[in-house]
Structure 1
Amino acid sequence: MGPLLGSGYLLLRDAVSTPRSYLTDSALGLGDAAPRAVPQDALLAVLSPVIDGGLIVKAILLVALWAAGYGAAVLARELLGASIGAQLVAATVALWNPYVTERLAQGHWSLLAGYAALPWVALAAYRIRTDGTAGAWAGVAGCLAAAGLTPTGALLAGITALSLAGRRRLAGVLALLIATSVPWLAATTLSGAASEPSDPAGIAAFAARAEPGLGTLGSLAGLGGIWNSDAVPGSRTTLLALFATVLLLVIVATGVRSVISDGTDRYVRRALVVLAALAILLPALGATPWGMHVLEWLVAHVPGAGLLRDTQKYVALAMPAYALCAAAGCGALARRFSAGQVAAPTDNPPVSKLSPTVTGTVATILISLLALPLLDLAWGVGGAMRPVHYPAGWQQVAGQMAGPGDVAVVPGGMFRKFRYSGKAPVLDPAPRLLPQDVLQTGELPVRGRTVSGEGNRAREVETLLLHGGSAQQLADLGVGWVLLERGTPGPLGESKTALAQLEPMFSDADLTLYRVPGTIQQHEASSTDRTFAIAAHALWVALLIGGPLIATVTRRKRCPAAIRADPTDATGHG
């Protein structure tokens, strides 16, 4: 994250951070498009008037990356009694891998928050199996809420928790999952997005992609294979990807036997390994012709199944098991090479019996083998994640919007290439920068094809502008403002004819704002819907903050008693 630590904002492909955002209907998930950024957008809208929005995004991303590595280390310590060296190997597997690299380059910072929560969700599920106290359940709630910054993150965490909790606890975990997902579930219901199927063309467009020498299955097993080749680091476009994947899989395979061996927590460890296998196999099957056919049917007939179209996202579910197996592999190798230590790979003697020098050396070698083939990740994915600075015109445009109506934007499309945003296309920042709802079609250009979105009114408005429609037609569709973003590619059509009928309000080298005259037809969400949506977000915040607090307080109250009961355990694995 080095480049991002300076001033400026993250604006890279799907990542859009802004100085300030607003609690519009779209931020609450009540707009035309599916609520894919809920409750993320509402959280930023509430906090950014107090704390700079760009700083919030950087902080969330930094904490998420730290939490991913530390969570993997804690999971290895709790389930395996791993040494510090082995814990660092687990942290490296969780942090320094193609999945993190490609999702950073794609701009999926909030998805990485869900990814980072997975080892903590696994640990929380393990704890409710071992004691089942209110504090343990509160920990599960907090972990699910942290993962639920986006709907996909909630699904990742929910699948993990449900897989590990056991049959007797399924109902409780499912109830907590629904409670922590209520912002986007409520928004989906209230906005009507639940009744609309997704475009089946998205399945082929977002299918996992094969890397050189690996094929699709091998790419996914190496935690790579994102659909967008432009978000793939250079090292994964050569046979170095094969070398790195073989190294990763060998290190993981070395510890599989130890992870699935008998023990008091063997169910959790074995379930994580099975989950990892399915997280690799199913997306690979989803990239086959018949697999894509099945998924196309699902998204065309089952509302909400569009969350499954980017199947490579779900490879994240393999991370906790990979981290555990790598840590166990480090321990197994250290035992094998420790002086005077002759033990079967499944043995797990106390760390104190192993040579610290050998353990540290093995861990250092494994960490180097994991990191060196993927040096592209260093310094913000090779400098791709550099901060940008928005022109002052954006703030002035936002200050001009004092009247009713939504905002339409030209050129058409959702992605831009500004003079200040770099070479990669970026999601239009207007919806986050402006105080009114910005109409977006949701159409995505992917692999030379266009995947349709859910923004029907936005599509109608865009067509009207590109065909030179009248101001009255715009007003009837609820458009009160039109923003012309200069210097970025995109279709303009006959929009000059439409813009000539509007009232110019502001203009500079980058932006021109027009006001639509006449009476604007309102298309806002009802006050009742907004109240329900805000209440749903409030519940999510309560679980996000309250869950960890209750879990921490409860755990601290129990620890002194545990130490008095078994001082040997307290000085052992802690």
Structure 2
Amino acid sequence: MRAKRGETAGRFASVASVAPVAPAVLGLLLGLLALGPALGPGFVLRYDMVFVPDPPLTLPGEGFPRSVPSDLVVALLAQAVPAQVVQKAVLLGVFVLAASGAAALVPSDRLGPRLAAAAFYAWNTYLAQRLLLGQWALLLGVAALPWAVRAVVLGGRLRLVAALLPAAAGGFQAMLLSALTVLATAVTAPAGAVTRLRRTAEAGVVLGALSLPWLVPALLSGASTDPAGVTAFAARADGPFGTVGSLLSLGGVWNAHAVVPGQQGWWSASVRLVLAGVAVWGFVRLRGGPAGPGPAVATGMGSAVAGTSPAATAGVGPAVTGGPAPAVAGPGLAAVAGMGPAVAARAGLAVAAGAGLAVALAGAFAPGVLGGLIAWWPGFGPFRDGQLYLAPFALLQAVGLAGAVAGWHSRAVAAVAVAVPVLVLPTFALGAFGRLAAVDYPGEWRRVQAIVNADPAPGALLSLPWGAHRAFAWNGGRVVLDPATKMFARPVVWNDALVVGLPGGGRLRLAAESPRAARAEAALRAGPDLRARALAGLGIRYVLEQSNENKFYDGVVVFQGRELRLLRLSGSE
């Protein structure tokens, strides 16, 4: 009998030793599967995802600071390792951070429900579509969102700062998402009135401090936001159940090229919608307490399970799923015995998810309201892409799916729940079937970069053709933001106006946000004899254009390649 007990205790101890790292390992495996060819030699270049070799350490230029401080963080990391390695580490880190964070929120000491949450949060339509838009900086904040929620519940300023660092590195979109969810959690988590007020104030101070790198440049930029962007970036139907059905199943992105192949089919859309319903139902069940068989109280960056866990019953001590011995830290969690982080944060998650869904629906069905707010104050501009704010709803569904799985007490059900997110969205694998792939820059890009960066004379660089995006043959024809905006150790003037296709046909042009871009556009309309002089008067020293443009004659050709032509304007000497 003692031998049998020893074997049982050994099995539980083995499970307990694997549990802390299993969600992270699952996230890594899902990342490897999703990225596929994107992990090969070279850079992944798609829409907003622009990494360049030897990125310079530069301050933000004019216009809204969308790449602050993410570009600087990448440039700093690239001082130690090649930039392409930084990109692959960041992309894989999104999956690992998302999976482990979702699992850490689950109020159960059983591994199955935690892995179900990890798989769902690291493999869903929202994450896939945002990755196909190249919004890696946003996804840093999305991945760290469960850790931020958990930090608020547990309490402690340093814990919250650490949890928000990925979002802080990502910049304004990541921090706005985090602020929505963190503040909602702080206001609603169980605690006395004084504790709740103190926790909310601390969260606000931390969020404000970590937002300063992008907030200060934004306030000083003088950038404007076109209210028409609400219509351009409104959520759209990407399946048979309309815009509402798409949003409920975490889709509805505005860009048709960010839709995962095959996700529009009836089978995939139906299963994802049913899965969303099950997840919401499971989240509602969290009101009754933790889903696991024993009370779960989390500490540190993992979770420690105390009480009646199987391992403790077997005499081998509490089943540890990360962190030291079980304890309640600080004023967090309201010291409610038996309440896991997700249970304590359920009201905040519900509020944040509801608010995010409301913003997405407002953009789709009441664009005039958001457009009016943006016209009144450009600071409301970040709300024009409403589908972006579904991230808290995705986290709610991940935790809810774990709750539903825990109610079955079945390993088979847990295994199915882990596999279902991949099975209903299989074409997210292998770089969304080739939509994400690694390529290298042609040598002439590096030569132009070296020439411009070696010149100590001041002056900006103007990038042509006069449009924000490019589709290079060497990048497989994939659309990408002009890489010139990231390559040079001097200001780059480019056309940040966007042209967006509308669902019923036609195209909508949004006005440029950068005042300097608007002045450069006016100079480009001048006659051939005046154009170069007008641009030089704006402080532009170089013009980089594709070889087939040949618009400038009043300048010195510094470099001529098959694709690129670099000129130094004569009036800039």
The TM-score with structure 2 as length reference comes to 0.79
CA distance in 1, matches of 2:445, 2:160: 41
Residues 184-333 of structure 1 mapped to structure 2, 5 A cutoff: 184-193=214-223, 196=224, 198-262=225-289, 264=336, 265=339, 266-288=343-365, 291-333=366-408
Task: Give how far 1:262 is off.
Answer: 4.6
Task: Give how far 1:466 is off.
Answer: 5.2
- Contact 1:111–1:150 under 8 Å retained in 2: yes
Task: Give how far 1:37 is off.
Answer: 1.0
Task: Give how far 1:45 is off.
Answer: 2.5
Q: Identity of counterpart residues, as a percentage?
A: 34
Aligned to 1:460: 519
- Contact 2:547–2:560 under 8 Å retained in 1: no
Aligned to 2:490: 436
Aligned to 2:184: 163
- Contact 2:108–2:406 under 8 Å retained in 1: no
- Contact 2:235–2:243 under 8 Å retained in 1: yes
Aligned to 1:175: 205
Residue among 69, 82, 86 paired with 1:56: 86
Structure 1 SS opposite 2:165: helix
Q: Return 266-275 or 401-410, whichever deviates more.
A: 266-275
Counterpart code for 1:451: L
* 1:43-94 deviation per Cα after TM superposition (whole angstroms, max 9, x unaligned): 1233323321221122112112110011101111xxx124111111101110
CA distance in 2, matches of 1:438, 1:300: 27
Counterpart code for 1:109: W
* 1:114-167 deviation per Cα after TM superposition (whole angstroms, max 9, x unaligned): 100110011101101xxxxxxx22011122232122201001111111111134
Aligned to 1:540: none
* 1:523-548 deviation per Cα after TM superposition (whole angstroms, max 9, x unaligned): xxxxxxxxxxxxxxxxxxxxxxxxxx
CA distance in 2, matches of 1:253, 1:428: 41
Cα separation, partners in 2 of 1:9 and 1:397, compared to 1, 3 Å = same
Question: Does 2:217 match 1:140?
Answer: no
- Contact 2:227–2:372 under 8 Å retained in 1: yes
Aligned to 2:422: 371
CA distance in 1, matches of 2:569, 2:418: 60
CA distance in 2, matches of 1:466, 1:48: 39
Aligned to 1:450: 509
Aligned to 1:478: 539
Aligned to 1:90: 117
CA distance in 2, matches of 1:302, 1:283: 19
Aligned to 2:149: 122
Question: Does 2:562 match 1:513?
Answer: no
- Contact 1:259–1:270 under 8 Å retained in 2: no
Counterpart code for 1:165: A
Task: Give how far 1:277 is off.
Answer: 3.0
- Contact 1:480–1:516 under 8 Å retained in 2: yes
CA distance in 2, matches of 1:379, 1:424: 16
Task: Give how far 1:241 is off.
Answer: 4.0
Question: Does 2:463 match 1:413?
Answer: no
- Contact 1:18–1:433 under 8 Å retained in 2: yes
* 1:165-185 deviation per Cα after TM superposition (whole angstroms, max 9, x unaligned): 134121111010011111011
- Contact 2:45–2:478 under 8 Å retained in 1: no
Q: Return 432-441 or 507-516, whichever deviates more.
A: 432-441
Cα separation, partners in 2 of 1:257 and 1:461, compared to 1, 3 Å = closer
Structure 1 SS opposite 2:438: coil
Structure 2 SS opposite 1:503: strand
Residue among 4, 7, 20 paired with 2:54: 20
CA distance in 2, matches of 1:205, 1:56: 32
* 1:439-472 deviation per Cα after TM superposition (whole angstroms, max 9, x unaligned): 0231111112111221222233234335433332
* 1:399-453 deviation per Cα after TM superposition (whole angstroms, max 9, x unaligned): 2221321111221101111121123311100021222211023111111211122
| Over 4 Å off, 4+ runs | none
Task: Give how far 1:274 is off.
Answer: 3.4
Aligned to 1:538: none
Residue among 448, 451, 456 paired with 1:400: 451
Structure 2 SS opposite 1:87: helix
In structure 2, list runs of 5 or more residues that go unmatched. Answer: 1-34, 188-195, 291-335, 502-506
Task: Give how far 1:293 is off.
Answer: 0.5
- Contact 2:557–2:565 under 8 Å retained in 1: yes
CA distance in 2, matches of 1:213, 1:485: 42
Counterpart code for 1:364: A
Structure 1 SS opposite 2:523: helix
Counterpart code for 1:506: F
- Contact 1:235–1:373 under 8 Å retained in 2: no
Residue among 489, 500, 511 paired with 2:553: 500
Residue among 429, 432, 435 paired with 1:384: 435
What is the count of residue pairs matched by the alignment? 469
Structure 2 SS opposite 1:385: coil
Task: Give how far 1:222 is off.
Answer: 0.4
Residue among 175, 187, 211 paired with 1:154: 175
Counterpart code for 2:167: A
CA distance in 1, matches of 2:282, 2:109: 12
In structure 1, list runs of 5 or more residues that go unmatched. Answer: 129-135, 335-358, 521-574
Question: Does 2:103 match 1:73?
Answer: yes
CA distance in 1, matches of 2:79, 2:571: 32
Structure 2 SS opposite 1:102: helix
Counterpart code for 1:452: A
Structure 1 SS opposite 2:571: coil
Structure 2 SS opposite 1:518: helix
Structure 1 SS opposite 2:543: strand
Question: Does 2:95 match 1:41?
Answer: no
Q: Return 231-240 or 155-164, whichever deviates more.
A: 231-240
